[in-house]
Structure 1
Amino acid sequence: MKPKREDFENIVFSCYTQVSRQGEHFVSDHVLSYQIAGDLVLNDGINDYSATDGSIRFLKRNQLLKFIKQPPPEGEFKSLSIYLDQRILKDFSLEYQLTSERKQFNKPLLLLTENPLLQNFMQSLLVYQFSDKLSDPRLVELKIKEALILLLQEQPDLKDVLFDFTEPGKLDIEAFMNKNFHFNVNLDRFAYLTGRSLATFKRDFEKIFGITPGKWLLQKRLQEAHYLLEKGKMASDIYLDLGFEDLSHFSFAFKKQFGLAPSKIISA
């Protein structure tokens, strides 16, 4: 069964009846999310982060993440998320005179554990959601303000993250791409996250790597695939993690590059 999803402005209830493995996810807005049932594993390209029933997490905007949603046995994966977009945060910043002073927050997410106030707040949102009251934008706005106040009471330092409205600055392309090559996103997204226009990104990329971004990404992913296959991994287990959309495309590209089908690579 396909996942069900109901949207009431910036508050989203999600429900999945089967394992849902999403290849990539660009987090464009800050998100405060409550794990109602099931397990969620997030990966930022380096580390895995797990969230179980009852946990609350804060995701920072402008980052790439992969995730696996696992329903409980004979149950459904359920979560409730509040999307804190820039308009909402700018209005809140002006109303409460809050500004960002420091811009150092290198973690992709923050797990908020053992916080009865936030947990009770999220439970109250479920009551509103199931009674269809969150279709009223006035109530949605009030509940998001309440969420922000509770979040800042729990984590005052998040003020410097929430109210930092600057766009990504220029990053080291080589380091960024070597970390994130396995995310299957468009080049304009890579360009944005490294603080460049698409044209500048392509020009800077070719200066460093000597080939176009598209060719480099394909070669890098296939080289990593070859390494993993030699270690005993199965093609069906790795193609999504390496940024390929489907198994047949991966197998075709692999055979073209190495002259052998992935199944012919024997583990050492």
Structure 2
Amino acid sequence: MTTGERPHIAYSCYHTRSRGGEQFVAEHVFSLQISGRLTITDGQQTNVFNEGDLRLIKRNNLVKYVKEPPAIGGVFKSVSVYLDQQSLRNFAMQHGYPQAVHQRSPAILSLRPHVLYKSFMESILPYVQNDLDVGEELQQLKVNEAILLLLQVQPSLADILFDFSEPGKIDLESFMEKNFHFNVQMKRFAYLTGRSLATFKRDFEKIFNTSPGNWLLQRRLQEAYYLIKEKGCAVSDVYLDVGFEDLSHFSYAFKNKFGSAPSKLTAQVK
């Protein structure tokens, strides 16, 4: 689906296993797993979605995911609708929904199957599977339809969809210990802890007595060492799990800190 604007609807199609993806979820995402399996975690909980499963991923969360096609000759497929803040604000105003009070709830929600969800997603597939050029107006209609359906099937979702609050200032040390393995820009960490980038860096150095970049590198290497030596994890898995972008950079940093390559530590464990 192509358009001059940022698309509201996305289609994923993978023929091979895609591991180690991660992202900052900026908007709520309503998705159907068409085929294959998606494993997704926010660092606190892990959810597995198989063919026919529906999910809602809340905005302002960090997630890692693995996309796996069916075992024999299949293709991983999913379709997602992004429920952006402006669309939700306009919908709330038009339909008289008050702004919800922020409440803590899981970042990843499994939605129960419903014939209306199934019908809605099937109405989108001809557009995305054929890569049709769909205009902004039609995409907006589909976003509004998705919001209506979610509220009709599960009215309590209004507490999530119409919560327009931004992250408040939270405990920085606790947050970083829980999220150091996410490889995102520093400005994302700052935003999610309720700080400007400058304040984040200043607060960080007061707490940890070092820069965010250096602390993240050392913390990720410590975790990698533990996972390889104590848990017997494979190097090819560990470097992604702890937040490194590529294996060569991880191996170089690991050897520089511990004096030997991670592969040698793996051999010692075996």
What range describes the TM-score normalised by the shorter chain of this pair? over 0.9
Q: Which moved further from structure 2: 45-54 or 120-129?
A: 120-129
1:126 corresponds in structure 2 to 125
Q: Does 1:147 align with 2:149?
A: no
Q: Does 1:164 align with 2:163?
A: yes
Q: Which moved further from structure 2: 98-107 or 175-184?
A: 98-107
Please tell me whether the aligned partners of residues 100 and 164 of structure 2 are also in contact (alpha carbons under 8 angstroms).
no
Q: How far 1:116 sits from its partner (Å)? A: 1.6
TM-score (norm 1): 0.93
Q: How far 1:166 sits from its partner (Å)? A: 1.8
**Structure 2 Cα separation of the partners of residues 133 and 198 of structure 1:** 40
Q: Does 1:90 align with 2:80?
A: no
1:264 corresponds in structure 2 to 264
1:29 corresponds in structure 2 to 27
Residue type of the alignment partner of 1:223: Q
Residue type of the alignment partner of 2:193: T
After TM superposition, list the pairs within 5 Å mapping 1:84-233 onto structure 2.
84-130=83-129, 135-231=134-230, 232-233=232-233
Give the 3 Å change call, closer, same or farther, for CA 251–117 of structure 1 in structure 2. same
Gaps of 5+ in 1: 1-5
**Structure 2 Cα separation of the partners of residues 179 and 261 of structure 1:** 26
**What percent of counterpart residues are identical?**
53
TM-score (norm 2): 0.92
Gaps of 5+ in 2: none
**Structure 2 Cα separation of the partners of residues 134 and 147 of structure 1:** 20
Q: How far 1:152 sits from its partner (Å)? A: 0.8
**Structure 2 Cα separation of the partners of residues 217 and 129 of structure 1:** 39
Q: Does 1:48 align with 2:46?
A: yes
Give the 3 Å change call, closer, same or farther, for CA 133–143 of structure 1 in structure 2. farther
2:244 corresponds in structure 1 to 244
Per-residue deviation, residues 50-93 of structure 1 (Å, max 9, x unmatched)? 10101110010011000000011211111110011111111111
Q: Which moved further from structure 2: 7-16 or 132-141?
A: 132-141
Please tell me whether the aligned partners of residues 93 and 163 of structure 1 are also in contact (alpha carbons under 8 angstroms).
yes
1:3 corresponds in structure 2 to none
Q: Does 1:234 align with 2:234?
A: yes
Please tell me whether the aligned partners of residues 12 and 82 of structure 1 are also in contact (alpha carbons under 8 angstroms).
yes
Equivalent residue pairs, number:
263
Please tell me whether the aligned partners of residues 102 and 165 of structure 2 are also in contact (alpha carbons under 8 angstroms).
no
Residue type of the alignment partner of 1:41: T
Give the 3 Å change call, closer, same or farther, for CA 236–130 of structure 1 in structure 2. closer
1:20 corresponds in structure 2 to 18
**For 1:117, what is the secondary structure of its paired residue?**
helix
Q: How far 1:131 sits from its partner (Å)? A: 6.1
Residue type of the alignment partner of 1:250: F
